[in-house]
Structures are given as structure tokens and as C-alpha cells.
Amino acid sequence: MAKRVDTALPASRREFVCAAGLGLLALANRGSGVAVAHLPVEDAPAPDDIAVMPRHGTITASPGTEITFRGILAAQLAPVAVVGSRSGAHSGVLHEHADELGVSFVPDAPFLPGEWVTVRSASPLRATPRGSVTFRISTPVSPVATPVTREMDQPRTPPQSFRTRLDLLPPPMTVTTPATGSAPGYVFVGAKIADGHNGAMIVDEDGEVIWFAPLDSVVATNSDVRVQEFRGQPVITMWEGIARQGTGFGHLILLDGSYEPVATIQVGNGYPGIDQHECQLTPQGTALAIVYHPIRWDLTEFGGEANGTVLDGIVQEIEIETGRVLFEWHSLDHIGLSESYGRAPAEPTEAWDYFHLNSIEPTADGAFILSARHTHAVYKIERQTGRVLWRLNGNRSDFQMGAGSPFYFQHDARLHPNGELTLFDNVETDQDRGGEVESRGLVLQLDEDAKTAIVAREYLHPTGILSVSQGNMQVLPNGNVFIGWGSAPVFSEFDADGELCFNGRFPRGGTSYRAYRCPWIGMPGAPPDVAVETGLGDDLTVFASWNGATEVATWEVLAGADPDQMDVIGAASRTGFETAIDVATTEPCVAVRALDVAGVALGTSEIDAPRE
């Protein structure tokens, strides 16, 4: 079970109970007789330096929203008055952010759908006479319950099995183009297997399993499994949850080199869960996540119902240490339904996924790059205001799109320091058009001043793959690129000249939302595993494995009369996930020991007693 990050603030941090509308701060128990007083207001920042979320004019806020203030501290902000047009004054608690650059007001009770909320504080929040912020609460719609069932008894392709780990049944991977000139590292995928085991997975360049972590729930999946940095150390990050009809409800997990959880991240502001599409960490100790929120919306202009349902695409930046939301952006506040290339569904109970947000990338100038599949567009968003700085492609593009540069149903847009923007261009959603069109990894050279976009490079698979959903394109440090082909069960690496230098694939019925190549050193906290099969006479076959260990070069077999008196009776180089070693012994106790390339012992298994 993953451990949650402790969101309690250190004792040295102050928490203030706000009597909203009264301008008072309770400094002690109300019944204690201690006086109640204002906090001294320190030199306050100018309103233009304060970012408040939900922003002024927002009409999509959650009933369970907190109110985030960035650029101001509690002592400058308090007292805070929060008043709903129907629910009245709200009391709550001010939690300072761990980076000491802001504070969140956490209401004691939710707001009411459809009401307007007004926020005032001791410092003006906007450069207006009243200095207040007003936003509207949306009317949420419960997601339509779609059955999520999976059978695991009849996978289309039999899984791998190991004598040492009967609980691990990973899919077999096939390398069709052996690695030549590939970048260092392993392949990371979130295996989704039809009628088989889902889970996070690391494989080497031979397609051999390094680590497999099957999920306890047969309906759950992992997504966006990769290596990132947290607190100066590499960690595996991934989404875990239940996916329905292209969206998901789950949480984010961070694992250290021993595969132990160092943090779990849950959605903020009362939403059902984080979506599966993005798990991006920042150097500031925050996580960028996507939320899909179904709300009531008038869809008559687009062929839907007046009381229809639309999915609001939400970006959250969550402070990992505290769980506070530092930034929130809503597509419906900034992107009109007319930008979508789809139409409102005919079925009134079905939510219109008009935007389909699928990636978030912070930029060097503090903005965000967003990819929206259903508008065929990439957006640059200003952090302070949330406004759209530019649109790339789609039906309202601010850029002149050069020959071959338009893209469709894309994923994974990333803006790089050299002005290049990379993305995975799905091109099409109709699988029957395979052979006519093909997906590609696309590199566009952007001129943000002249607003031009031209094709710098593109990466096409030699077999002409059409991937109608999912996918990603990763730029590697040596100039290679790694592409996960999404709905096509393939992952590939191309060298700097665009030549295919590595290719692997899932079995039939298996996919991964994204695929990455990442350097990684894993040293599991659990000991190695051993299994022994007896043969004729004194002969034994000893099987050794260590799920997740990346540094094992050699396995030694130990045997003896008891666990404290064991000698080496055989050895073999590691061969794949599980190594078989033939030995002969009459001793009752057998174990295996892992050695690295220098012969240093890394770990020893528990004892197996084959002759008891």
C-alpha cells in the first residue's frame, strides 16, 4: 500500500481560523476567554502581484474548491471574508504553502452549485475600488457509470511465468529491431493487457523484464510510467486508477530506488480524481495533473441539450508536501466549445469531451504548454492570469502553419529551449484508414514573435503505423527520440539522423499509453527470490530472480547444513529476469546471492530446503 505524503504543516507554521465576514481571527479556543484580535498586516504586495484561484470571473469552480492566494502570506492576507450568494459567510482555515510564497483558504463547508462567491481580505486582491474577487460555482454532474470488467483467465497471448515469482505474469515483449546506437537506459511502460495482468513495467533492450508491478485490482491500470526527479533524487512516477472512455479517476505515485512509495498525490478542490494523461513533476516540488470534470452546460448551439453535460478540462499544480493547489486552470473559462472538431452527443446523459486535455509542460518563462486532442491545438497559457497567450493549429491558430505542419488528434506537446515544439501526431481516429495515413513524431520550429510554424523533422515508422489514440515522443539527451505508438503496440527509438535504431512490441492485445527510455538504478528493499527443483541423485536446478534489481551481474548458489554455515557451490551470469543454475549437493539448505559487475554482494535470498 502506497504511503501518503503527510500534509500536516510543521508546528512552526501558523494556521489561522478565519471568521469570514467578521474580520476576526480566533487566536484560541472560543470558550477560553482569551481575547480575539486582528493580526497585524505586514507590508502587502500590490494587487497585480497576487494571483487568486479560482480567478475573478471564473464560472467553473468546484463546490469543494479551496481558495488559493499566491504572492502573499497569511499575515498580509488575514482577515479573509468568503461569502456565498446563497450559502452565506464561510469560516475556514488558512494553510501557508510550503514554499512560503502563498496561502490557501480551506473552507469548513462546501459551496452551493450555481452560487457566486465573493472573496475579500485585508489586502486588495485586485486593483479595483473594492479589491475583491468573485467567481461562480459550477453544477457538477455525476459521471455516467460505465461497466469496467476484465477477465484474466484467457489472455490472447500467454504471459511469462517464473518459478521464483508465481505472482508475476508480465506480457512477453518482442524486440524486432535490436538496439544499435540507442541511448542509455531501460524502457518504461504501463502495460495494459487484454484479459491479462496490468501494471508498471521496466524492460531491457532484449525485451527482458527488469521490474513488473501488477495491480491488486483487475480493473485498475497504470499510466505515464517514467523516471523524474524529486527532492534531488530519481523516482519512478506513475498514475494509478480506473480509466473509462478515454478519461480516468486515480492518483499519482512516486517510488524511490527501492520501489517504496515516497509520496502519493491526490486531486485537490473536491474533484473525483486525477486523470490518467499526465504526471509531471517540477523542480519546485510540485506536480502537474489533469482533471476531467463533468458539469451542466447549455449545448443547444451545438446540437445538444440545454441542460447538457460537458467535460471541463482542468490543470492543477499541486504542492507535493502539503497537497495544496497552487495553480488551477479551466478550459471552459478560456476555450470556447466552437474550437472543438466534435459535436455534442445525441445522448443527453453522455458528457461531451469537447477539449480532451492530454499534456502539460511548464516553460522557461513561467507559462504552460497544453495539448488538446479534440481541438487539434496546442495552447500557451499565462500562469498569473490563465489567459491564452497563443494557439497553435486548430480552427483559431495564431500561427501561420507551414507545409506539412498541421496536426490532428495529437498528444504530448513539449516546447524546448531551442524553440522547437515536439508532439505525437496521431493524424486520424479511424483505424480503417490504416495504409492511407500514418501517425508520426513531429518536430516544429516555432517563431513566437513572427507566429510561424514549420516542420523541422518528422519520424515515421518503416511499417507505416497508424495510432488512433494515445502516444508520446521523448527527446533523449544524445539527440535520439523515443516514441510510444499508443494504441499500436509498438515502442521505437530513432537516432539523430531519423533512422530506426531500436524497436519493440507488446503481444497482441497489449498497449501502453506512453513509453519512455530512462536511465535507472533499482535496488529492491526485499531480498532476492529463489526456487529449487530436484533432479536425479544430487542434482538440483536453482532459479534466482530479483524483481527490480538493475545491478545484478552474477548469481551465486549457496548451500550448507544450516543457514549460518553455507558455501558457494555454483555460479552463473544473470540471464534475463530469472536465471537457472545447475548444481549438485546433498546439503539441506540452499540460497542464492546476487553480485554486481565488481563482485560485490548485493543481497542474499531466504533459504530454500529442497530435500526436507
Task: Looking at the structure, tell me whether residues 56 and 82 fall in a common domain.
Answer: yes
pLDDT digits (tens, 9 = 90+) for 516-569: 999 999 999 999 999 999 988 899 999 999 999 999 999 999 999 999 899 999
Domain annotation covers residue 500:
yes
pLDDT digits (tens, 9 = 90+) for 429-465: 999 999 999 999 999 999 999 999 999 999 999 999 9
Mean pLDDT over residues 389-401, rounded?
A: 98
Q: Higher pLDDT residue, 154 or 404?
A: 404
Q: Which helix (H) or strand (E) holds 526?
A: none
Task: Looking at the structure, tell me whether residues 358 and 413 fall in a common domain.
Answer: yes
Task: Looking at the structure, tell me whether residues 563 and 513 fall in a common domain.
Answer: no
End residue of a domain, out of 483, 518, 553: 518
Confidence class for position 17, pLDDT limits 50, 70, 90: very low
Report the distance separating Cα 487 and Cα 474, nearest Å. 17
Domain annotation covers residue 155:
no
Task: Looking at the structure, tell me whether residues 536 and 478 fall in a common domain.
Answer: no
- What percent of the chain is helix, strand and coil (3-state, nearest 5)? 5, 45, 50
Is the pLDDT at 389 greater than 60? The verdict is yes
Q: What is the CATH number of the domain that holds 548?
A: 2.60.40
pLDDT at 173: 97
List of residues 6+ apart from 311 with CB closer than 8 A:
247, 292, 293, 294, 351, 352, 353, 354, 355, 356
Q: What is the pTM of this model?
A: 0.92
Asked if 473 and 456 count as a contact pair (C-beta separation under 8 A), the reply is no
Task: Looking at the structure, tell me whether residues 375 and 494 fall in a common domain.
Answer: yes
* Strand pairing report for 286-297 and 280-281: antiparallel
pLDDT digits (tens, 9 = 90+) for 464-489: 999 999 999 999 999 999 999 999 99
Task: Looking at the structure, tell me whether residues 341 and 453 fall in a common domain.
Answer: yes
Domain annotation covers residue 167:
no
Out of 1-15, 233-247, 531-545, which region has the weakest mean confidence (pLDDT)? 1-15
pLDDT digits (tens, 9 = 90+) for 255-304: 999 999 999 999 999 998 999 999 999 999 999 999 999 999 999 999 99
CA-wise closest residue to 362 among 418, 414, 412, 320: 414
Q: Higher pLDDT residue, 611 or 130?
A: 130
Asked if 592 and 556 count as a contact pair (C-beta separation under 8 A), the reply is yes
By percentage, how much of the chain surpasses pLDDT 90? 82
Is the pLDDT at 2 greater than 80? The verdict is no
CA-wise closest residue to 68 among 116, 127, 133: 133
Domain annotation covers residue 159:
no
Instruction: Report the chain's mean pLDDT, rounded to a whole number.
Output: 91
Copy the grid coordinates of residue 44.
502587502
Domain annotation covers residue 178:
yes
Asked if 486 and 467 count as a contact pair (C-beta separation under 8 A), the reply is yes
pLDDT digits (tens, 9 = 90+) for 39-49: 334 567 888 88
Domain that holds residue 265: 174-518
pLDDT digits (tens, 9 = 90+) for 579-600: 999 999 999 999 999 999 999 9
Task: Looking at the structure, tell me whether residues 486 and 348 fall in a common domain.
Answer: yes
Task: Looking at the structure, tell me whether residues 299 and 350 fall in a common domain.
Answer: yes
Report the distance separating Cα 118 and Cα 54, nearest Å. 11
Extract the runs of DSSP E, i.e. beta strands, from 304-366: 308-319, 325-330, 357-362
Domain annotation covers residue 509:
yes
Q: What is the CATH number of the domain that holds 24?
A: 2.60.40.3710
Report the distance separating Cα 228 and Cα 280, nearest Å. 8
Max alpha carbon distance in the chain (Å)?
A: 94
Domain annotation covers residue 252:
yes
Confidence class for position 240, pLDDT limits 50, 70, 90: very high
- The domain tally of the chain equals 3
Task: Looking at the structure, tell me whether residues 378 and 466 fall in a common domain.
Answer: yes
DSSP letters of 388-433? EEEEEEGGG-SSEE-TT----S-EEEEE-TTSEEEEEE---S-GGG
Task: Looking at the structure, tell me whether residues 423 and 325 fall in a common domain.
Answer: yes
Report the distance separating Cα 79 and Cα 95, nearest Å. 13
Confidence class for position 217, pLDDT limits 50, 70, 90: confident
pLDDT at 156: 79
pLDDT at 500: 98
Asked if 190 and 514 count as a contact pair (C-beta separation under 8 A), the reply is yes
pLDDT at 148: 63
Out of 135-149, 343-357, 492-506, which region has the weakest mean confidence (pLDDT)? 135-149
pLDDT at 94: 95
Task: Looking at the structure, tell me whether residues 566 and 417 fall in a common domain.
Answer: no
Confidence class for position 19, pLDDT limits 50, 70, 90: very low
Is the pLDDT at 30 greater than 60? The verdict is no
Q: What is the CATH number of the domain that holds 335?
A: 2.120.10.80
